[in-house]
Amino acid sequence: MKQQNSVLFIGGIIFGFGLAYGKMSQPEIVLSFLERTDFGLIVLMAAAFSFAFVAINIVPRFIEKPILGGQYKRRERTLSKNSIIGAIVFGVGWGISGLCPGAAISSVGVGNLPALAGIAAMFLGAYVMGRYFS
Amino acid sequence: MFPLGLTSYIIGGAFIGLAVAFVYILTGIHATQSTFFTSTLSYFVKRPYFQRDTNLKSREWRLFFAAGVMLGALIYTLTISPDGFWVTSVPMWRLIFGGFLVGFGTRLSSGCTSGHGISGVASLSTTSVYAVLTFIATGMITVYLLGVLGL
C-alpha cells in the first residue's frame, strides 16, 4: 500500500469513528438539527473546525512542507453561481434524506444498510451532474 | 437546544477534526468526501469531466479514505457504541430521492459538509462560508416544508 493511501485509510478510520461517535451517521439526528430541535451538529462542526483550523493555518508556519511530500495549500474555491446553486440543491437533498456524503458512508458502518441506497443515489446524482450539467 | 447533551458532539467533532489535521499535516491533502463519487466514476466513465486530473490523481486515496470511514464507524459500533447496530426509520424514498440531490448538488457546488463545512471554512474560504450558510438554510426550509406536508 502506498504511504499516502495508508495515511488516508487511517485518517478515514478516525473520521468515520468521529462521525459515528457524534451520531452523524444517524439521519434522524441530522434531521433534528435541521428541525432546530438539537443544535449538536453545530457543536460537532465547531470542534472539528478548531483542529482543522490549526492544521491548515498554523502548522504550516512551523513546518514548511507536508511530512510525506506535497505542499500546503488552503482549500479555496471561486465563488460562482454553481457553488451556490449546488449548495441549494444539496441542502434540499440533505433535508429530505438526512444524509450527506461522509455521514452516509459511515452510516453503513453502524449497520444502517438502507444508507447504501442513498449512496447509490448520490453516485447517480454525481453522474447526472457531470454528464449533463458540466 | 441540546436534548442529547454536548459530550458526544464535542468528542465526535474532535475525532473528525483530528482526522482532517492528521491527513493534512502529513500529506497536504484535504480529506473531504463528495469528490469521491466523481473520482470513483472516473474508473468507468470516459467523458472529459470525469477524466479531469483532480479526479484521476485523487481517486485511489479517496477509495481508501471512504473504506476507512466505513471501517471507523464499524469499529465504533463494535466497541463503545451504546446503541449497537442501528437502522434508520427514514423512509427509503427519502434516502434515494434526497441522496440523488445530495450527489448532484455537492458536485455542482464542489463541496459538501466536509469539503465546504470543515476544510473550506477552516481555510477561511468565503465561498465555503456562503455554501455552508446556503445548504443549512435550504435544508431547514426543506425539513419545515416536509413537516407542513406531513411527509
Per residue in B35-90, pLDDT (tens digit) is 999 999 999 999 999 999 999 999 999 999 999 999 999 999 999 999 899 999 99
Nearest alpha-carbon partner for B13 in B21, B24, B3: B21
Size of interface A-B (CB pairs under 8 A): 527
Q: CA B131, A28, A124 angle in degrees (round to 5)?
A: 55
Q: CB within 8 A of A87, min separation 6: which ones?
A: B105, B109, B116, B130, B131, B132, B134, B135, B138
Closest chain A residue to the Cα of B28, Cα to Cα:
A72
CB of A50 less than 8 A from some CB of B: yes
| Residue among B37, B54, B104, B141 with most chain A CBs within 10 A, to mutate | B104
pLDDT tens sequence across A55-109: 999 999 999 999 999 999 999 999 999 999 999 999 999 999 999 999 999 999 9
CB contact under 8 A, B142 and A94: yes
CA distance, residue A64 to nearest chain B CA (Å)? 10
Set of chain B residues whose Cβ sits within 8 Å of the Cβ of A106: 69-70, 72-73
Set of chain A residues whose Cβ sits within 8 Å of the Cβ of B81: 20, 110
Whether the predicted interface score ipTM is above 0.90: yes
CB contact under 8 A, A8 and B124: no
